[in-house]
Structure 1
Amino acid sequence: MIHKETLEQRIKRVCDFISHNLDEQLDLAELSEVAALSRFHFHRVFLAYTGVSVTKFVQLARLKRASFQLAFESTTKIIDIALAAQFDSAEAFSRAFKRTFSQTPSQFRQTPNWPNWYQVLDFTLPVLSDAALDVEIIDFPQTPIAYLTHCGDPKKVYTTAGNFVAWRKQSRCSPVKSCRTFGMPNGDPNTMDEEDFRLKICGSLLPKLHEVEPNSFGVKAGVIPAMRCAKATHIGSHDTLENTIYALYQQWLPQSGEQLGEHNCFFEYLNLIHEVNECDLRTDVFLPLG
């Protein structure tokens, strides 16, 4: 019996294709071929499954990438970000960006309105995952870190991340290129009150540098203790990170015979959101074991 591909699978394939080809010219004819649908049906099916037109989806994907570049790459010129987003001029880019996020690129670079940004990008994407979870049990070593704690609204965490990046650029004791980057939440933001949420944004310290000088950012020194962990690698957007986390708790753990440790799960960001396209993000999820 031949398996018939669902419409949801076809739209997911198109979304993945777009994410991997943001630097290319993408037109309706090509994308409808990727979906194996006529152009007439493709446009309507895509809108039905995502809530936005395919043209709007492509532009939003490019503007989303541009917003990370604006926020975290302060030395990159706006015109270069505009051209990378497939705009012919900084003016056209600025108009589209302001129309989308209610801030000009310069305003967003200075003071990003992340809650509004999340609201704009809050549309439905097909989530299909047939891949088996690849889990490895490891001994995580004690790791000295510098950290900055985000408190409250998870939708403002990029503001704290930006401050931590700025500190790293100034301090030189936890450079991004040669030190590891971690996220350590105090729990699941989906199951707690907004004001109770905490996330430590961390960078490992260079060898022999286990202290952090007083600074205006509020960055402090700490340690991730040694512990035994289950590790799985999440590939793709941080917005879908919970899929891998829940799979560890709900699927792998009951079958493993292992017991949970006292520490909350935490993450290592193997690459950063402003460095690669979202589809190429790689994040290790660590589940501490007893």
Structure 2
Amino acid sequence: MKAAVHNYHARMQRVLDHIDRHLDDDVDLDAVSGVAAFSKYHFHRQFTATFGLSVHRYVQLARMKRASYRLAYRDAQSVTDIAIDAGYDAPDAFARAFRQRVGQSPSSFRKAPDWEPWLAALGPLDNARSKLMQTTYTTNDVMIRDEAPTSVAIMEHRGDPATIGATIQRFIAWRKATGLSPRVSPTFNVFHSDPRTTPPAEYRMDLCVGTDRPIEANGERIEAGTIPGGRCAVLRVVGNTDNLEPAALYLYRDWLPVSGEEARDFPLYCQRIAFFPEVPEHDAVAELFLPLK
């Protein structure tokens, strides 16, 4: 029974991966059902029963999420191009749909996103994906590596995790102004707080870029710092790297107690390696580091 359920879920997972890879294409139900080798006569009901969303609604929300990231974080792409990539023939149709879903026009969202309504609007997509996209980690997924110290420039986010998007916007704009592209300068996050136990107003996370250049603040609050070297347990996360809590929970709850290791006095941190929307969401990659003594 477990093997049959696993096989069924794996086939549905192939469908989600296929949709992510082909968001720019027309979604043909016959082709999508064929990816999972399901009958085209039953596939739509199977998909809706599994995910709580129709295929059409799922694709709409996936395109809306990608469009939102491009609006907020990729200002080189015009609203018209983003609208076309999201499957709309004209910017005004995209604007109406975006406003109806998110509560802001695309242009106002680009300038000053209101992230809480956005999170609520995209909730059904995240709920659908969480039904099958939870990775089960094993001890074989964890490597112990010696990491060299890394000099970084730091922008602190302090406050509700739901508003981290605004800090990310500022961080990206600052990096562009200083020429610290992710292609040549690595990106790190240092997690000083656990969002499950920390009051939202007290939550703290550092957005960091690896650089040994003198810091040019350009009007932002930027500090120089170092991610110290040493032994680390490293867990590679592929897919939904927006939420690293399941991977962190595995390291602390499952791996650390049986490893014989002890955590070092430095917070959990990650390196962002492949970014959505530059890659399809299921191809996003982050490495999570638990510093060890």
TM-score by length of 2: 0.89
Alpha-carbon distance between aligned partners in 2 of 1:273 and 1:78, rounded to the nearest angstrom: 18
Match of 1:180 in 2: 186
Aligned amino acid, residue 51 of structure 1: G
Alpha-carbon distance between aligned partners in 2 of 1:31 and 1:273, rounded to the nearest angstrom: 22
Alpha-carbon distance between aligned partners in 2 of 1:23 and 1:214, rounded to the nearest angstrom: 38
SS in 2 for 1:270: strand
Whether 1:65 aligns to 2:72 is no
SS in 1 for 2:286: strand
Match of 2:122 in 1: 121
SS in 1 for 2:65: helix
Alpha-carbon distance between aligned partners in 1 of 2:255 and 2:9, rounded to the nearest angstrom: 26
Gaps of 5+ in 1: none
Aligned amino acid, residue 55 of structure 2: V
Match of 1:224 in 2: 227
Whether 1:107 aligns to 2:108 is yes
Shift of 1:239: 3.4
Shift of 1:190: 1.8
Match of 2:176 in 1: 169
Cα deviation 1:127-186 (Å, max 9, x = unaligned): 3435645222112222111111111111111110110111111123x3332111001111
Alignment of 1:191-230 (within 5 A): 191-205=197-211, 207=212, 209=213, 211-230=214-233
> Residues 3 and 112 (structure 1 numbering): CA distance in 2 closer, same or farther, change over 3 Å?
same
Which residue, 268, 271, 279 being the options, matches 2:282? 279
Match of 2:4 in 1: 4
1:87 touches 1:93 (CA, 8 Å); kept in 2?
Answer: yes
Query: What percent of counterpart residues are identical?
Result: 37
Give the alignment's Cα RMSD to 1 decimal. Answer: 2.2
Pick which of 236-245 and 69-78 moved more.
236-245
Match of 1:142 in 2: 149
Alpha-carbon distance between aligned partners in 2 of 1:10 and 1:214, rounded to the nearest angstrom: 49
2:273 touches 2:284 (CA, 8 Å); kept in 1?
Answer: yes
Cα deviation 1:71-94 (Å, max 9, x = unaligned): 111121112222222222222222
Whether 1:253 aligns to 2:259 is no
Pick which of 60-69 and 219-228 moved more.
219-228
Cα deviation 1:206-246 (Å, max 9, x = unaligned): x4x2x323432212222212232111210011234222222
SS in 2 for 1:17: helix
Alpha-carbon distance between aligned partners in 2 of 1:225 and 1:36, rounded to the nearest angstrom: 49
Alpha-carbon distance between aligned partners in 1 of 2:242 and 2:169, rounded to the nearest angstrom: 18
Shift of 1:39: 4.5
2:137 touches 2:250 (CA, 8 Å); kept in 1?
Answer: no
Alpha-carbon distance between aligned partners in 2 of 1:171 and 1:255, rounded to the nearest angstrom: 44
Aligned amino acid, residue 238 of structure 1: T
TM-score by length of 1: 0.90
Shift of 1:250: 2.6
1:69 touches 1:81 (CA, 8 Å); kept in 2?
Answer: yes
Match of 2:57 in 1: 56
SS in 2 for 1:103: coil
SS in 2 for 1:26: coil
Shift of 1:2: 10
Shift of 1:200: 0.4
Shift of 1:287: 0.6
Alpha-carbon distance between aligned partners in 1 of 2:190 and 2:114, rounded to the nearest angstrom: 23
Gaps of 5+ in 2: none
Question: Alignment length, in residue pairs?
Answer: 286
Aligned amino acid, residue 159 of structure 1: A
